[in-house]
Structure 1
Amino acid sequence: MEILLETERLVLRRFTTADADVLAALHGDPAVMRYIDDGRPVPRAVVVGETLPAILRGYRDLPPGQGRFAAVERATGRFAGWFALGPAGTPGLRGGTELGYRLRPALWGRGLASEVARAVVDSAFADPATERVVATTMAVNAASRRVMERAGLVYVRTFFEPWPDPIEGAEHGDVEYALTRARWAGRDTGQATAPGADLPAG
């Protein structure tokens, strides 16, 4: 098992083909997918035939430490969800290293997403090439926005992208959060700038 990092309660490791069932269950959960893509659960055939193979290819094609990694509970060994780092690919983002995450709803509200997101952000900046970590969600997704804030990212802007099949809340747009290397490095020295001061204008 190749481990990316460990936190107090979760371990991040590479996905394998043996994770097909738990990944399909995660992406097939309506609550998980409510604010993602078209807001609909992803069919198992798509997860097994497209999503998981793409994740596995990422370990070959992306720089070390980037990709999508399975999150596993330290106490039980159960699959919890996933966290991701990689070149910004969400429509509307303007470069940077993108943070992503999904957790099983049974684990929501325990601070797990924030705990691991902070560690993933730190791991991103361990690479000297990383200058900016970014993340995005629908403006109405308050829970995801809190995770971004607790991971140290700050609000940059609200933007509107044309979605082929808009879902409820899309009229409020999407939000971009970001953390620059300078601000990240200043967190422990008291030199952090005012929120958003070192970020590009929206």
Structure 2
Amino acid sequence: MATWTETPRLRLRRFTPADAGALADLHGDPEVMRFIDDGRPVSREVVEDTTLPGFLAEYRDLPAGLGCFAAVNSGTDQFAGWFSVRPAASRGLGGGGTEVGYRLLPAVWGRGFATEGLQAVLRKAFAELGAERVVATTMTVNTRSRRVLEKAGLKLVRTFFLEWPEYLEGAEHGDVEYALSREEWVSSTARH
């Protein structure tokens, strides 16, 4: 399977229909989904009927190189989660740009995989895909994800508040937007 990008420990590649079970396990995990959408796990049927077909359609419908990519542990060849790079579309984003995101299985949390993968996605977005500005959002109370965004080089832009159809614990603290411009990325890369 063709590699989209890689790090010392992760290989990112396009999803295939064979990934349905692993993706359902990821999106069905309450810890993974705690700060996403309504905070509830997603059913296997929804993943198989909607989520995965949506990911596969992105490879056709989005500009070349954009989409959601399966992250596989290079050492074990085990599914670890996914990373995405797409036109910015999350609720509350007003400044455009290219949006990045990720979800990883709890088994790999706390080991630097999220930061490592996100840095590779940023490198690909700026160096190969022509991104001028990369953005990401998370809930203000999602301190783990905020730390990953900061370690990857994104900077806090603002806190914002949205009306959601259902209350999610911590929503009263709002959401946060992080961003990184091409110039900031180039400058940071040159320093390191």
TM-score range, shorter chain: over 0.9
Determine the C-alpha separation between the residues in 2 that align with 1:128 and 1:121: 10
Contact 2:13 2:69 in 1 (8 A): yes
Question: What SS class does the counterpart of residue 76 from structure 2 fall into?
Answer: coil
Determine the C-alpha separation between the residues in 2 that align with 1:81 and 1:162: 29
2:23 aligns to what? 23
Equivalent AA in structure 2 for residue 126 of structure 1: A
Determine the C-alpha separation between the residues in 1 that align with 2:60 and 2:87: 14
Q: Does residue 179 in structure 1 map to residue 180 in structure 2?
A: yes
Determine the C-alpha separation between the residues in 1 that align with 2:60 and 2:39: 30
1:129 Cα offset (Å): 3.5
1:134 aligns to what? 135
Alignment of 1:81-100 (within 5 A): 81-94=81-94, 95-100=96-101
Regions of 4+ moved over 6 Å: none
Contact 2:82 2:104 in 1 (8 A): yes
Residues 181/167 of structure 1: CA separation in 2 closer, same or farther (3 Å cut): same
Coordinate RMSD, CA, aligned: 0.9
1:46 aligns to what? 46
* Unpaired stretches in structure 1, ≥5 consecutive residues: 191-202
Determine the C-alpha separation between the residues in 2 that align with 1:84 and 1:177: 15
Alignment of 1:26-37 (within 5 A): 26-37=26-37
Q: Does residue 116 in structure 1 map to residue 123 in structure 2?
A: no
Question: What SS class does the counterpart of residue 120 from structure 1 fall into?
Answer: helix
1:128 Cα offset (Å): 6.1
1:56 aligns to what? 56
Determine the C-alpha separation between the residues in 2 that align with 1:138 and 1:71: 23
Determine the C-alpha separation between the residues in 1 that align with 2:31 and 2:190: 40
Residues 32/130 of structure 1: CA separation in 2 closer, same or farther (3 Å cut): same
Determine the C-alpha separation between the residues in 2 that align with 1:75 and 1:61: 32
Q: Count the aligned residue pairs.
A: 190
Question: What SS class does the counterpart of residue 119 from structure 1 fall into?
Answer: helix
Determine the C-alpha separation between the residues in 2 that align with 1:12 and 1:148: 18
Determine the C-alpha separation between the residues in 2 that align with 1:124 and 1:92: 22
Deviation digits for residues 50-84 of structure 1 (CA, Å, limit 9, x no counterpart): 00000000001112221000000001100000000
2:104 aligns to what? 103
Equivalent AA in structure 2 for residue 132 of structure 1: R
1:196 aligns to what? none
Determine the C-alpha separation between the residues in 2 that align with 1:165 and 1:90: 17
2:6 aligns to what? 6
Equivalent AA in structure 2 for residue 83 of structure 1: F
TM-score for the superposition, normalised by structure 2 = 0.97
Q: Does residue 144 in structure 1 map to residue 145 in structure 2?
A: yes
Equivalent AA in structure 2 for residue 34 of structure 1: R
Contact 2:65 2:129 in 1 (8 A): no
Alignment of 1:191-202 (within 5 A): none
